[in-house]
Structure 1
Amino acid sequence: MSVPPRLLPWPGPSGQRSYLLTDYGDSHLSRLADEMEEVQLAMGTELLDHAADMLEDRKAGGLEFRFLSARLCEALRDVLRVAESRGGRLAAPGGEETEPEGRLAADAGTAE
Structure 2
Amino acid sequence: MSEPPATRLLPWVSPDGKTCILLSDGRGESGFSRVADRMEDVQLEMADGLLEHAADMLGDEAATDRQLRYLGQQLSAALRDVRRVAESRGERAGR
Question: Normalization by structure 1: what TM-score?
Answer: 0.78
Q: Secondary structure at the match of 1:8?
A: strand
- Kindly provide the amino acid, as one letter, of the partner of residue 80 in structure 2: R
**Stretch deviating more after TM superposition (31-40 or 9-18):** 9-18
Match of 1:18 among 12, 15, 20: 20
Q: Paired residue for 2:80?
A: 77
Distance 1:7 1:81 in 2: 8
Letter in 1 for 2:9: L
Q: After TM superposition, what 4+ stretches of structure 1 lie above 6 angstroms from structure 2?
A: none
Gaps in structure 2 of 5+ consecutive residues: none
2:11 matched to which residue of 1?
9
Which amino acid letter does the alignment assign opposite residue 82 of structure 2? Answer: V
Kindly state the Cα deviation for residue 14 of structure 1 after the two structures are TM-superposed.
1.7
The residue number in structure 2 matching 1:47 is: 50
Q: Give the % identical residues.
A: 52
Residue identity matched to 1:40 = Q
Question: Does the 8 Å contact 1:9/1:37 carry over to 2?
Answer: yes
The amino acid of 2:35's aligned partner reads L
SS of the equivalent of 2:11 reads coil
Q: Contact 1:5–1:19 at 8 Å: present in 2 too? A: yes
Higher normalized strand content (fraction of residues) = 2
RMSD: 1.2
Higher relative contact order (CA 8 A, sep 6+): 1
Q: Is residue 50 of structure 2 the alignment partner of residue 56 of structure 1? A: no
Matched residues in 2 for 1:3 and 1:89: separation?
A: 13
Give me the whole-angstrom Cα distance separating, in 1, the residues matched to 2:92 and 2:21. Answer: 12
Instruction: For 1:77, give the aligned amino acid.
Output: R
Shift of 1:64: 0.4
Number of residue pairs the alignment of both structures matches? 92
Q: Distance in 1 between matches of 2:4 and 2:87?
A: 19
